[in-house]
Chain A
Amino acid sequence: MKIKSNIATSENGFIFNPATGDSFSGNAMAATLLLAMKSGKTEAEIKKNILALYDVNTNQLERDWEDWMIQLKEANLLETEG
């Protein structure tokens, strides 16, 4: 899953969708994830990095990642596939 290329993100977690005018405030973790996704890192690379940096097991990470994807999708921030 890729973040839409036109989405503007800042280091402090603010997200702006220039096509709709929607804006969101994310926490520090959201900011980190968004920057990683926008820089072109793969899902596997991002997860590997989180497991190395944080005290979290794989199962928990998978559940949280799924939640994160749902939030991004609801916010219309993901590229539509196809």
Chain B
Amino acid sequence: MANQYANLCIAVTGLNANDNPGPGMAVIRSLKESFGDGLRIIGLSYESLEPGIYLRHHVNKTYLIPYPTEGTAALLERLAYIHQQENLDLIIPNFDSELFNFIKIASQLKQMGIASYLPSHQQLALRDKVNLKDFGDQHGLYVPADHKLYHADDLKKAADEFNFPMVIKGKFYEAYVVYSIDQAIKAFHQLNAAWGVPVIAQQYIKGTEINIAALGNGTGGNTSIVAMRKLYITDKGKAWAGVTIKDDKLITLANNFAKATNWKGGYEMEIMNDAEGHLYILEVNPRFPAWVYLTVAAGQNQPEALVKMALGNPVEPYDDYQAGKLFVRYSWDHIADISDFQQISVFGEL
């Protein structure tokens, strides 16, 4: 019987494998491991220096796509062109900021023959940083208190309530732990400039940082859940090393989230386990994390499962994984030629 997955063509975003990496390369690595060399990977990038563009043994071809701010019409037009060239089977978006548009055009992509496996706009909004505290309160989940900041003046109220340190977070990305009002104001302006308002001030919770990578099946359950404790954290708060852990409380938390949202697709829960053992949800990211390859190493290939589900095939939920699997991220100077840079910069394809 022919393997229906052997010659798939899958487009992936998030090729920015830098010090704040997108998940794209980890997703590709997971897919290659499962589906083999017949798999064709099409990179979708926003900038000419996303490292994945030049990693040709992982990414067969890359196309520049328009920034999310250019809207869905521009995105759809570009994807139609790429589809014409590549005959895509599936798209896996990996950036928070692009998801709104990809969800909006999902039905049109389906008509074109391109599958995807994404949450709804409503699901996306539920876990938005702006709504997370309300969501937690409604479902009995621990979420740190927060204030939405529209002006630097709003910081005073937040500081009065939370004291220092507190956390200042961008609407989509980035967060700073600040220890004074001066640092808070600086962080507010930086995050406002990068991502706009509201900027979020969040109560600081001291504890152990744990992340959960999971795959929701869209009907209130999870097909896969893998938890990881951060062992080495960069100054951007990203895990540079981590180890898989197994604790029933974490599995229950992810299952409660899936049940409350009917989440469809990959997601990541950022958790702080405080001294009393309360699991505070700091964020829920609406896509796989950059460390998703660790799920493969631990015995649950989440990107593989997503592809199968996106193509309409049932996948039995995983029920176990290996604790004690460690990842250590590393940097590597990949060499390319200026002609490659020219090709992607001028023609938008490489």
Contacts and interface: CB of A to CB of B under 8 A. Distances in A.
Interface of A: 6, 8, 16, 18-21
A5 to B, nearest CB: 13
Contacts of A18: 245-246, 323-324
B231 interface: yes
Given A19-B246, A21-B208, A21-B228, 4 more contacts: A8-B324, A18-B323, A18-B324, A19-B247
Among the interface residues A8, A18, A21, which one has the most CB atoms of the partner chain B within 10 A? A21
Nearest to A20: B245
A8 B245 CA distance: 12
Interface in B217-253: 228-229, 231, 242-243, 245-247
Nearest to B243: A21
A66 B324 CA distance: 30
User: Among the interface residues A6, A16, A18, which one has the most CB atoms of the partner chain B within 10 A?
Assistant: A18
B324 A20 contact: no
A6 B323 CA distance: 10
Q: Determine chain B's interface SS by DSSP, over half rule.
A: strand
A21 B246 CA distance: 9
Contacts of A19: 245-247, 323
Contacts, number: 23
Contacts of A21: 208, 210, 228-229, 231, 242-243, 245
A16 B229 CA distance: 12
Most A C-beta atoms less than 10 A away, residue of B208, B228, B242, B323 = B323
Interface in B58-97: none
A21 B207 CA distance: 13
A8 B244 CA distance: 14
Contacts of A6: 246
Nearest to B322: A18
B174 to A, nearest CB: 25
Q: Which 4 A-B pairs have the closest CB atoms?
A: A21-B229, A18-B323, A19-B247, A21-B245
Contacts of B231: 21
Contacts of A8: 324
Contacts of B242: 21
Nearest to A19: B247
Nearest to A16: B324
Nearest to B246: A18
A18 to B, nearest CB: 3
Nearest to A18: B323
Contacts of A16: 324
23 contacts: A6-B246, A8-B324, A16-B324, A18-B245, A18-B246, A18-B323, A18-B324, A19-B245, A19-B246, A19-B247, A19-B323, A20-B208, A20-B229, A20-B245, A20-B247, A21-B208, A21-B210, A21-B228, A21-B229, A21-B231, A21-B242, A21-B243, A21-B245
Interface in B311-325: 323-324
A52 to B, nearest CB: 35
A6 B246 CA distance: 10
Nearest to B250: A19
A46 to B, nearest CB: 26
